[in-house]
Structure 1
Amino acid sequence: MTQVPPPRPLNVPRLVRLLTELEVADGAVSHQHFSERLGRLINLPDSIALSRVHGRLATMTSEIGKETDATEPTESIVAEFLTVRTKLVESIVNSFSHGAGASWLGFPKVTASTPAEELTSYKRYQQFYANQQREIALRINTLRANVRLAVSGRSSRLARLVVLDSGLDEAFSAPAQKLFAEVPRLLGKRFDDLYQSHLETIAGGEADDDPQLWSQAGGWLAQFSGEMQEALLAELEARLQPVLGLMEALKEEGESV
């Protein structure tokens, strides 16, 4: 009798799901496991900071966040969010195009002049991913600050939410970056696995080992390139979640008026 596999959880983050499917995680990866690791990284100063935020929320008056005529229109806030997200997606996708090799944000390309020791070294691909992470974080941090400023003046409820968001960002920022830094390390395992599989194919006499073919369709490096791009897009989605939460709260506030 054929056994039906259990249904996959629908709320598993895209990034966690991808790392699981690539089989590069150190043991089973789950949303719960990710959250538990993040919780263990919160230190005493971070806990104290969160406690201060809780105290500030308790003393905020209803006058804080009172609507004014100068409040930025919701449409402008949404437009900025969509613009930044679209540009980041386009930047990631374009960084893997054939014309992006000369940029520090471009996926490393295999050329006839590439030194032999670099051809199978993951170091430059890891550096590329780290550069992308810094660029993404910088632009999202600016967006998050702008959205907070726009949202905080809408109502006392949203003003409290912004204070809470700022406090959580202060406490979780460093731990979150440590976890995101694990992504390129895990992808390094995938890089090594794909290259090893390629070597086994070559040893079997099934193909010629021409480095110029690695990044062409069907090549092991082309496959890795696609998987790394997917990882960056999934990470972008994860990093945008706090901003998206503020946007959803703003939407709910407007619907309740």
Structure 2
Amino acid sequence: MLASLLDAPPRPAFRGPTFIRLLARLTDDTLPQGGPAPAERLSQWIDWTRAVVLSKVLDAKASEAEQDAQVVDRDDAAVCAKARATLLASITEAPELVIPQPQAAVASNDDDADAAPAVAIDFAPFRQRYLALQRSMLITTGRLRGDLRDRLAQRSADMARLAEVDAVMEGALSPREHALLGAVPALLETHFERLRAAAGVSATDPSAAWLDGFRRDMQGVLIAELDVRFQPVEGLLAALRTH
């Protein structure tokens, strides 16, 4: 098996965002180097009803910002950075992703006899953790995005229009985003099973090298997904900084 892997031609490097490149590395499928232009891709994702709503927002006359609205003085960048740091810590400190320290072997035969039988390591806990972290990212970034839109709407008519456009785009693209990101755990499960099979060893050792490698891979994918989910937040922050 090792010889066949060494003789196989190298896969072409995939160029793209970190999140996509990581997924491409974990799958056996060769991803295409090219693809539709962003505008064409968006036309495939946005149905005609959403397109009509977006068109109305873009064509509408900019409304004046609420004069009586009280803008709370706060450091929006710091608020977002703190939220991101909390999510990052929940990824790096997830119990399933912490690489365990090897324990000394038990010398006593009596202890060996009383020891609980080894349990095969399954992907289920990793799936549950990934889904839980995805929910946390979704809730946090959604709340931040809504707060930042409210802040923009209080600045000026142009910023209020930008906030409306972002709200429409979030509603239009969220179903597609959920579907695509929802497929990631299945890709990781395939990678998990492939690593375990390639190791050719017992699947009951929580400190096995293949499992440590999987933990690092899953953590890297989660961090890259966090970056993807924060891109709209960073865009709204950039708009606030310019006004």
Instruction: Supply the distance in 2 between the matched residues of 1:62 and 1:38 (Cα, whole angstroms).
Output: 27
Aligned amino acid, residue 220 of structure 1: W
Aligned amino acid, residue 27 of structure 1: T
Aligned residue for 1:194? 195
* Residue 27, structure 1, aligned to residue 30, structure 2: yes
* Residue 211, structure 1, aligned to residue 210, structure 2: no
Aligned residue for 2:231? 241
Instruction: Supply the distance in 1 between the matched residues of 2:75 and 2:19 (Cα, whole angstroms).
Output: 29
- SS state of the match for residue 75, structure 2? helix
Deviation at 1:62, TM superposition (A): 4.7
| Residues 56 and 113 of structure 1: CA distance in aligned 2, closer, same or farther (over 3 Å) | farther
| 2:218 corresponds to which of 203, 225, 228 | 228
Aligned residue for 2:22? 18
- What is the RMSD of the two structures over their aligned residues, measured on CA atoms? 3.1
Aligned residue for 1:124? 125
Greater gyration radius: 2
Q: Which runs of 5+ in 2 are unaligned?
A: 1-11, 101-114
**8 Å CA contact retained: 2:196, 2:203:** no
| Residues 127 and 34 of structure 1: CA distance in aligned 2, closer, same or farther (over 3 Å) | farther
Select the structure with the greater relative contact order (CA < 8 A; seq sep ≥ 6): 2
| Residues 59 and 76 of structure 1: CA distance in aligned 2, closer, same or farther (over 3 Å) | same
Aligned amino acid, residue 238 of structure 2: E
Q: Which runs of 5+ in 1 are unaligned?
A: 1-5, 100-110, 203-208
Aligned residue for 2:62? 61
| Residues 30 and 147 of structure 1: CA distance in aligned 2, closer, same or farther (over 3 Å) | farther
Instruction: Supply the distance in 2 between the matched residues of 1:38 and 1:183 (Cα, whole angstroms).
Output: 21
- Give the structure-1-normalised TM-score: 0.72
Moved more, 157-166 or 25-34: 25-34
Instruction: Supply the distance in 2 between the matched residues of 1:148 and 1:114 (Cα, whole angstroms).
Output: 52
Aligned residue for 1:205? none
**8 Å CA contact retained: 1:61, 1:156:** yes
- Give the structure-2-normalised TM-score: 0.76
Instruction: Supply the distance in 1 between the matched residues of 2:234 and 2:196 (Cα, whole angstroms).
Output: 38
